[in-house]
Amino acid sequence: MSETTDKTRCLIIGSGPAGYTAAIYAARSDLKPIVYEGLQPGGQLTITTEVENFPGYPDGAQGPQIMEDLKKQAERFETDVRSGIITRVDLSTRPFKAEADDGKTIFAETIIIATGASARWLGLESEKKFMGQGVSGCATCDGFFYRGQDVAIVGGGDTAAEEATYLAKLCKKVYLVHRRNELRASKAMQHKVFNTANIEVIWDSIPAEVLGDESGMTGALIRNVKTGEERTLIVTGFFVAIGHSPNTEIFKGQVELDEAGYVITIPGTTRTSVEGVFAAGDVQDHHYRQAVTAAGTGCMAAIEAERFLSSNLT
């Protein structure tokens, strides 16, 4: 085997809670996994500040610290963690073939896809500036920090409506900002929004700027798309709920994906349409999207990979 070619029993593509948990279990099963961290080592949790709902951290912890702990735990069991991304895969035959941007070609008996999903953002510079200082892409993750405060959420689909009603239970006032004059959410979710007293829907409007100072965000400038009229909302939290995009570009035509691009897994498992290929975390979960559920499916994927190998001795 050449210096640019490696062979492994388990290749894990991605390094969020799903990827690192899969690595811990795979390594302890003596699969000698190789992990390619991807474009965002540690996943979405690395752009989160205080995390209070991940088990094992009773006083909370910074998102990047949790991911560093998971990485160290994976490496403790001799996981080969590599910087870089997998650029191409061939899942037509086993061993599967993967090409990385470091010039390596990896032949793997099993593959665990844990590439996650990326939150869609508005593209405002001020949005980036106050990320983690008031701006968030997950109300379930961060809403707790805004108890009794006024917040805004952007979007009009089921996710935005669901997160708005969730925030309404915690916050004093919730502004739901939507660029159209009707919500795209299901009628049931719309009913919940319209019947929640402390939710105010701001129609035909988009965020023009996130406002703030050195201490964090202090408000949001909202612009009516029809009249151009601007309004300043005095809010301490700003949640963007305009959807996620699964990171599955290299798997198109290789494994079965749903209409939104998420990997389809057999219910109750992490098995994909290709035997020996498993998917864990947000790349196959557009419902819960939590670090702890991602970690759980990472565990499942590693166990299923080991069992697959045991029943298909090579």
Closest CA to 62 of 74, 48, 76, 42: 48
Quote the crossing angle between the two packed helices 291-311 and 17-28, to the nearest 10°: 40
Asked if 7 contacts 106 with a C-beta cutoff of 8 angstroms, the reply is: yes
Q: Is the preceding peptide bond at 58 cis, omega within 30 degrees of 0?
A: no
| 204 is known as an active-site residue | no
Report in angstroms the alpha-carbon separations of 264 from 24, 78, 239, 280, 291: 24, 30, 28, 10, 19
* Beta carbons within 10 angstroms of residue 313's beta carbon: 5
Q: Among residues 138, 171, 285, 299, which one is catalytic?
A: 138
43 by DSSP, 3-state: which? helix
Q: Among residues 10, 80, 101, 141, which one is catalytic?
A: 141
Cα 111 to Cα 143: distance, rounded to the nearest angstrom: 35
Cα 153 to Cα 161: distance, rounded to the nearest angstrom: 9
Output the six-digit token pair for 53. 């709902």
1 by DSSP, 3-state: which? coil
| 10 is known as an active-site residue | no
Output the six-digit token pair for 106. 């990896």
Q: Among residues 6, 142, 282, 285, which one is catalytic?
A: 142
Residues labelled as active-site residues: 138, 141-142
